[in-house]
Structures are given as structure tokens and as C-alpha cells.
Amino acid sequence: MPNSPPSSHASAPCRLEWRPSRWLTRALFILGLLAALGVIASEMPLGWSIPLALAAMAEGLRLSRREAVRPMRMLVLAGEGRAMVDGLPVDALDLHWRGPLAFLRYRDATGRRQRLAWWPDTLPSRERRELRLALPVQTAAQPPRSMAS
């Protein structure tokens, strides 16, 4: 067709927002509470179990609060391995899926390893599909099977 515009294979960048999961913060708090109850229910002497139970509950609360106050992040995947988090370029992008959970590892501009985890309450199905298409799973080639197996 002489009047049709030239086609382009470039797609728009994938923009995803990461925020702390309410499910995860609640789960961490509940695990701390259950650990405290488990220590008290054990046959440990009360002089030891009460302080240990308080420590377990405090640790669960600390982990829950630490997760809840993490700042929101903006991930932009521009294709061909180019990505930015909060406007800064990142390297060594690695995405793993565990059912509906998505785990992203990368190196920031200072070389430090960073991790983001999307839970089902923070990554709707439309954005989950967009992330799967933007960063396809790269599996290593399977080594040839030996004759003995």
C-alpha cells in the first residue's frame, strides 16, 4: 500500500508502580504473634518463654512496620534490557515468578543489589500480563542427558 505509514516494531515502555503489600505486612505481624504463642505453648519454663515470646512478637511487629514504610517505586522497562527505577538506570535485571508472585532483582546505580516483590494485592492481572510480556522468562539451555540416565 503506497499510502500506509511504515510499521514500527518498537513498543511503548512498560511502566509499573511498586508499593508495599498489605497482605505481606499483615502476614509478618501474624507470624510474629503465632511465634509468640508457640513459645508460650511449649514446655519451656515461663521465666524463659515470656521474654522470648515478647521478643518474637516485637520482631514480627518490626518486620511488619519496616515493610509498610518502604517507599513507592516506579519501574520503567524500555525494552532490550533497558530499565529504570525511580528515574535511575539499573543493571542485572532478573525477574522470577512463583505463581502470582513476581520477584525482581537488580543492581542500582551504586552497584547495590535491590529487590522488589509484587503480591497479588499490588499487581493487578493487567499489569501482571504487561510485566510478563516486557520481561519474558529466560531459561537456561538444558544440558544433554547422559546415556546412563
Q: What is the pLDDT of residues 30-68, one digit of tens each?
A: 999 999 999 999 989 989 999 999 999 999 999 999 999
Each residue of 84-100: pLDDT tens digit? 888 888 888 888 999 88
Q: What's the rounded Cα separation, in Å, for the pair 20 and 115?
A: 12
Q: Which residues of 106-115 are buried (b: 16+ CB within 10 A; e: fewer)?
A: beeeeeeeee
Phi/psi at 99 (nearest 5 deg)? 65, -125
| DSSP-derived secondary structure for 17-54 | EE---HHHHHHHHHHHHHHHHHHHHSSS-HHHHHHHHH
pTM of the model: 0.72
